[in-house]
């Protein structure tokens, strides 16, 4: 990671102002206050891995608040922050919940007003990632903000260790590798949050968690042409009828969701220059279609273009 600010070589009376300026540039507008009169100390290190921005922060005691006013000043409201506590203890409040984070805890904040209090020995990794990467699988973030998952959870422990290790090797990663590793990291966070939500949520929200787990399973198994509602229900440990009921509550059908995810994945790969060397049939098979004609027909029904026309339009190359 690259060190972009350390207060060690800065005059004490300038430290906090320069800190605020750097934080504004890296994380966005926030309101910050020191919680006592001691000279401020801090360090910020940064790295981007795929579509995740990683910031390692060491800071003395601060009160950081995201307000409606600071939210209006943000350029991009489509991201969310995941905090991994490395040392010290911090306190956070959002969406009516108050939480305390200790070393190894993982917690989601962002998108709405929140308050974060750091201790004098606070060190953390702050991950900024597209909100949809979480909401596609876990539902609205307001359900699990300020909802820490501790290191006693195997999933959380694995996710925290993964990102600590990843932060140490960011300079050596090729872009394609970085993209793949960022996806793995988000999957680990999703899995650890889903595990905690299943244990803690009231019964009326548990069905939502099951749906998000099912959707995550679909994402991981898109290439399997045999993936169908019955197989998905078995993987979730539910009867097909029960899983269908849960999907129907959200106005969805299991088979429609699976086909939609296959088509969207195919569209993403057809528009990715890194996949430009792959034959369309190979992309189709990789998304779970066992018949090229069936794939082309469904794809055109969904996007209004044949797969070949879609790729040409996305990559700006003429159709052969």
- Are the C-beta atoms of residues 115 and 89 closer than 8 Å to each other? no
> Which residues face 54 on adjacent strands?
47, 127
Whether residues 48 and 84 share a domain: the answer is yes
Say which CATH number the domain at 229 has: 1.10.10.60
Confidence of residue 31 (pLDDT cuts 50, 70, 90): very high
State the DSSP string of 283-296.
HHHHTT-S-HHHHH
pLDDT average, residue stretch 218-227: 92
Which of 311, 305, 306 lies closest to 268, judged by CA? 311
Average pLDDT of the segment spanning 288-299: 94
Residues 137 and 28 in one domain: yes
Same-domain status, 177 and 43: yes
Q: Are residues 212 and 300 in the same domain?
A: yes
Q: Is residue 176 part of a domain?
A: yes
Tell me which DSSP letter residue 60 carries.
S
Question: Residue 187: which domain range?
Answer: 2-200
Judgement on whether residues 121 and 258 belong to the same structural domain of the protein: no
> Does residue 320 sit within a domain?
no
Q: Are residues 196 and 210 in the same domain?
A: no
Q: Residue 11: which pLDDT band, with cuts at 50, 70 and 90?
A: very high
Q: Are residues 175 and 277 in the same domain?
A: no
Task: Classify each residue of 120-154 as buried b or exposed e, where b means 16 or more C-beta atoms within 10 Å of its C-beta.
Answer: eebbbbbbbbebebbbbbbbebebbbbbbbbbebe
Residue 67 lies in a domain: yes
Contacts of 11 (CB under 8 A, 6+ apart): none
Q: Are residues 18 and 75 in the same domain?
A: yes
> In the predicted model, is pLDDT for residue 139 greater than 80?
no
Q: Say whether both 195 and 230 belong to one domain.
A: no
Taking residues 257-266, report their average pLDDT. 94
**Considering the domain boundaries, does residue 308 fall inside one?**
yes
* pLDDT over 80 (residue 27): yes
pLDDT at position 262 is 95
* Domain shared by 195 and 54, yes or no: yes
The answer on 109 and 20 residing in a single domain is: yes
Q: Look at residue 13 and give its three-state secondary structure.
A: helix
What is the spatial distance between Cα 5 and Cα 16, in angstroms, rounded to a whole number? 11
Say which CATH number the domain at 148 has. Answer: 2.60.120.10
Domain count, the chain: 2
Of 149, 169, 200, the residue at which a domain comes to its end is 200
Tens digit of each residue's pLDDT (9 = 90 or more) over 166-208: 988 888 888 888 888 988 998 889 888 877 776 765 555 567 7
- Which CA distances in Å does 79 have to 56, 127, 268, 286, 304? 18, 10, 20, 29, 30
d(CA 283, CA 145): 36
Domain end marker among 152, 183, 200: 200
**Residue 155, pLDDT score:** 84
Q: What is the pLDDT of residues 64-84, one digit of tens each?
A: 999 999 888 887 668 899 999
């Amino acid at each position: 990671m690259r060190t972009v600010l350390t207060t060690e070589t800065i005059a004490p009376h300038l430290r906090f102002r320069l800190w605020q300026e750097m934080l504004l540039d890296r994380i966005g507008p926030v309101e910050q206050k020191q919680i006592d009169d001691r000279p401020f100390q801090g360090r910020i290190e940064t790295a981007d891995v795929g579509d995740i921005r990683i910031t390692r922060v060491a800071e003395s005691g601060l009160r950081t608040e995201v307000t409606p006013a600071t939210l209006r000043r943000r350029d991009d409201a489509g991201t969310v922050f995941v905090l991994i506590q490395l040392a010290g203890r911090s306190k956070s409040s959002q969406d009516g919940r108050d939480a305390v984070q200790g070393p190894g805890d993982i917690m989601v904040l962002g998108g709405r007003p929140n308050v974060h209090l750091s201790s004098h020995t606070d060190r953390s990794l702050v991950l900024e990632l597209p909100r949809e990467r979480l909401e596609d699988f876990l539902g609205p973030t307001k359900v699990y903000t300020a909802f820490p998952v501790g290191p006693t959870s195997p999933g959380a422990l694995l996710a925290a260790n993964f990102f600590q290790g990843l932060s140490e090797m960011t300079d050596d990663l090729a872009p394609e590798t970085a993209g793949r590793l960022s996806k793995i990291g988000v999957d680990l966070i999703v899995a650890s949050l889903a595990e905690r939500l299943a244990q803690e949520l009231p019964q009326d929200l548990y069905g939502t968690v099951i749906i998000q787990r099912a959707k995550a399973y679909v994402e991981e198994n898109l290439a399997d042409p045999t993936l169908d509602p019955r197989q998905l229900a078995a993987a979730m440990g539910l009867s097909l009828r029960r899983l269908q009921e849960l999907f129907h509550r959200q106005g969805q059908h299991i088979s429609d969701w699976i086909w939609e995810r296959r088509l969207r994945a195919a569209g993403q790969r057809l528009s990715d220059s890194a996949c430009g060397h792959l034959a369309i049939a190979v992309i189709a098979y990789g998304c779970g279609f066992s018949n090229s004609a069936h794939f082309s027909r469904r794809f055109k029904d969904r996007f209004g273009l044949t797969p070949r026309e879609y790729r040409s339009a996305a990559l700006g190359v003429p159709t052969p």
